[in-house]
A and B are shown apart, each in its own frame.
Chain A
């Protein structure tokens, strides 16, 4: 089967049940997508499939034929996506492990909902756990990214 990862066409002929997470991490060495739970409970593995936020740990490869996958490594060429800039300005990360998933979730939210309300932010971002407790800064960064005209990107 064929799919596209960060704009690069790929052919996959491995176990169709293998979750996208392990294909990204073990085969492509795209380790910015993190393993946190394996059951879509923590969101550390959030990536975009055809633009929508998806948890790679429960997305089998067989579901991805012809799909376009974007990981944190492909979110922006220079690491300057508005979400990344907002995250940097707010000094959001503590340990940083969940932050790639947080940013992918935020980027998908803002693409769909350029000016999210507090409730919409809470709802979308509650899919991604942060044990360090950076939620307050994440909220602020999402709002900053929205205000920067991220919407529609």
Chain B
């Protein structure tokens, strides 16, 4: 197999022969490969210039993608980067999906980091070094100077003589050469793939149904299991009767999975697993289980009451985290004072693919295939849960049918591993949609109180922001009841507006569920509150919102983030402020771009309006204008959304555009329809019928993406499109109707609204 197409044809032949197959997202592998001790290492004879790159004697180039593909296009982008620097042929390159292994460095596909923080340069350097070695090998072969030859799409060419040699003929010599110092990277003008559009690496497999996700993985002799999880966080099985479940044809065993004590981190919640010969039998068996659940301190968690608790918390002084100037004094002396409270509910990730894992435990070794964003954490958590050495745990990564943060947490893979050990057979654990909605790691719920003072000219002179929102750290450690500095660095402490007197306080907010990060994390509620409040201030000042934002951003400059008055240093998404400054010029540019492209300021019919927001997150600058139309019954339609993104440089522009298009939809789901609520400690919602996400009929009629190429340092792409869209929508609704949306989702607030989530339905 020398080419991807041949590999795929080969795979097809295997499938037609009726062989039972399992697959990595890199392609289908014969199941017997599970037995191989080291299937991901180089094959005999392969040259491995980097852990991310192998070149076989026949010239076959294999790139290892160590990050998880969940729609953001990392498998395509990393192949593009390697192929470009190496001058390999993109069409024939092979892709291997890396198992969880520290040799790859950080594999957590999270924080919009896969390109920006390291991989881009690592892959470029690896490709360039190997390309130079192949060029030197060719030069030696021909007795010419290395500067006279150049690699080009899988061959090295000597232009002066017209000679060329394919990589296959050069590997043997190249691999013996010293690694070049320094490695000379291409100039951007020499890029043939980076910055261009190519079809997605997995496109064909996806379109023909051959792509293998976690739910699709299988092993010979595999059992199927579903787990009845505790309905309340912290509850455990008190007693149960499995007799009826065991009578369901195909059900073989009911096994109790021990639940970790709170805070349970990534470990399973526990519960009862029904192991069967088919998924359907397991689901039917689960329906027949009779369980009494033990009491939990979270039994009384009630979202209505909790909101009142958060409001009370935010109306009293909290713990100071930022204190610049004298906010209290400036508020008292302001010409005009504005205050508002914003509420954003828990959200469920609800990726289209519910979590799933297949595991096979043999002795103290475990092999698992799962849709995980974090194979190293999966490995370590399985090892801890089973009390086996982590060196004996192999985690293969399938494609992910969406992740959004949920699949960073490997509780479901631990369940599969545990059940495999208990049954002595490979076990596939399937989470149903109900498990996903009811037993996930919900996004935090947030109540924010904002107060600002304007001077007589309408300039902001004072700002007080209180946040009451349970922190993610509550799932890892006890007594975590305040939003943390790292979460506040997602929009609050790094707020770019020029205000001389600022005070930020965090207020108590104990968690009563697991809390997990969700695409763009605390930027979701924090950008909503701040960007809606800025719109309120603009109107209070009698200013156009875009003009008001530009004035509040102030002149083009880089902010000194060490002089903001914060108690602790302000986080910057893992980057140094010197390398990734808070750059007002870039804020202004995306804002001005989106205003211009959207036709901001044009006259609209009655009942229509435009709203705007700008927000920096994950080192990327994004502004959005939403054009909304509100009908007489409060029905919301969205003729158009404009979104401008400056991520520095777009490695794969088409995928950056599609990430922006998708972020618009997700943010509008957050804003219009989605809400996870609790009653008696249990989620009220259970499936897509009552946990609603946007459908095509509710989507904008047109989304226009504007990429701003600033040439700045690389920023993230997957998440930063999300934060500004929801506040832009809320601001547009105000422009259209005069009604402020301070609580999400919009739901029925506009009298009969666009989407109704039945209260109390389950």
A residues in contact (CB < 8 Å) with B? 15, 18-19, 22, 25-27, 29-39, 41-42, 44, 71-73, 79, 84, 87-88, 91, 93-100, 103, 121-123, 125-126, 128-139
Contact = CB atoms under 8 A, between A and B. Distances in A.
8 contacts: A29-B20, A31-B215, A71-B209, A79-B204, A94-B73, A103-B207, A130-B665, A136-B661
Contacts of A30: 209
Interface string B677-708: 00000000001110001111111101100000
Given A41-B688, A133-B664, A95 B71 contact: yes
A32 B208 contact: yes
Most buried by B among A32, A88, A135: A135
B400 interface: yes
A31 B278 contact: no
Contact of A95 (B224, B402, B430): B402
A15 to B, nearest CB: 6
Given A73-B209, A95-B353, 7 more contacts: A32-B208, A36-B352, A94-B659, A95-B401, A121-B696, A133-B661, A133-B664
B352 A130 contact: yes
Interface in B273-299: 278-281, 283
Contacts of B92: none
B694 to A, nearest CB: 7
B666 A133 contact: yes
A42 B352 contact: yes
Contact of A88 (B20, B204, B699): B204
Given A34-B215, A35-B354, A95 B399 contact: yes
Interface of B: 20-21, 69-73, 197, 199-200, 202-204, 206-213, 215-216, 218, 224, 249-250, 278-281, 283, 350-354, 399-404, 430, 432-434, 654, 658-659, 661-666, 687-689, 693-700, 702-703
Nearest to A27: B278
Contacts of A87: 207
Contacts, number: 181
A97 B249 contact: no
A123 to B, nearest CB: 7
A37 B687 contact: yes
A31 B216 contact: yes
A97 B353 CA distance: 7
A18 B280 contact: yes
A35 B665 CA distance: 22
Nearest to A122: B697
A134 to B, nearest CB: 7
A111 to B, nearest CB: 18
Contact of B703 (A39, A123, A136): A136
B689 A126 contact: no
A121 B689 CA distance: 21
Contacts of A121: 696
A20 to B, nearest CB: 10
A132 B218 CA distance: 25
Most buried by A among B207, B403, B434, B658: B207
B280 A84 contact: no
Contacts of B209: 30-33, 71-73, 100
A88 B401 contact: no
A96 B666 CA distance: 16
Most buried by A among B281, B434, B687, B695: B695
B666 A131 contact: yes
Nearest to B217: A31
B696 A125 contact: yes
A37 B199 contact: no
A36 B218 CA distance: 18
Given A34-B215, A97-B213, A132 B402 contact: yes
Nearest to B701: A118
Contacts of B207: 79, 84, 87-88, 93, 99-100, 103
A131 B218 contact: no
A129 B432 CA distance: 16
Contacts of B199: 88, 91
